[in-house]
């Protein structure tokens, strides 16, 4: 008998609490944006070496490096706080454990960052430890029942 979560046609499960997932994805994307801003400021600093605005680029480099450090710390703790409802693993953060054989991964990235990108782009992801597929837009069964009872 095969496991339902390991079959390729397994159904998507709902997440009871979506807010930690959304907050982790938000802060990770903010971190990526701050890295891009920092790299852009460094490149502009070296392109405009002889200009009078060089001091402004120094200030921007300091500000963006501080923003990058802050968003890195916040994003790390937010991704660490997210837990898989089934296996209680951290699906958005790699910790060195062996990933499930059905976990999805974009080639240049690891499984955790691939899950963050999947959530940001499709609102779905697969836990890298148990292989269960989740859909963040699917409403939990208990919430559906409560909505039906309150509507009657």
Q: What pTM, to 2 d.p., does this model score?
A: 0.76
- Decide: helix, strand or coil at residue 41: helix
HEC states along 16-29? Answer: CCCHHHHHHHHHHH
How far apart CA 127 and CA 86 sit, in angstroms, is: 9
Q: How far apart are CA 112 and CA 90, in angstroms?
A: 8
Find the helix packing angle between 111-122 and 19-47, rounded to 10°: 100
In order along its 152 residues, the chain shows pLDDT tens digits of 445 444 555 777 777 788 888 899 899 999 999 999 999 989 888 887 777 677 788 888 999 999 999 999 999 999 888 888 878 878 777 776 667 777 766 678 777 778 888 888 888 888 888 888 888 887 776 665 555 566 65
pLDDT of residue 134: 84
């Amino acid at each position: 008998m095969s496991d339902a979560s390991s079959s390729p046609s397994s159904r998507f499960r709902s997440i009871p609490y979506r807010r930690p997932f959304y907050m982790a994805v938000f802060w990770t994307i903010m971190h990526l944006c701050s890295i891009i801003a920092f790299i852009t400021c460094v490149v502009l600093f070296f392109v405009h070496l002889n200009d009078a605005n060089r001091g402004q680029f120094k200030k921007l480099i300091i500000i963006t490096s501080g923003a990058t450090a802050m968003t890195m710390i916040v994003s790390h703790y937010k991704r660490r706080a997210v837990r898989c409802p089934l296996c209680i693993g951290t699906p958005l953060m790699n910790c060195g454990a062996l990933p499930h054989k059905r976990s999805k991964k974009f080639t240049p990235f690891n499984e955790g960052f691939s899950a963050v990108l999947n959530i940001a782009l499709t609102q779905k992801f697969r836990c890298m430890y148990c292989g269960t597929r989740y859909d963040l837009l699917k409403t939990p069964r208990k919430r559906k029942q409560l909505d039906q009872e309150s509507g009657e």
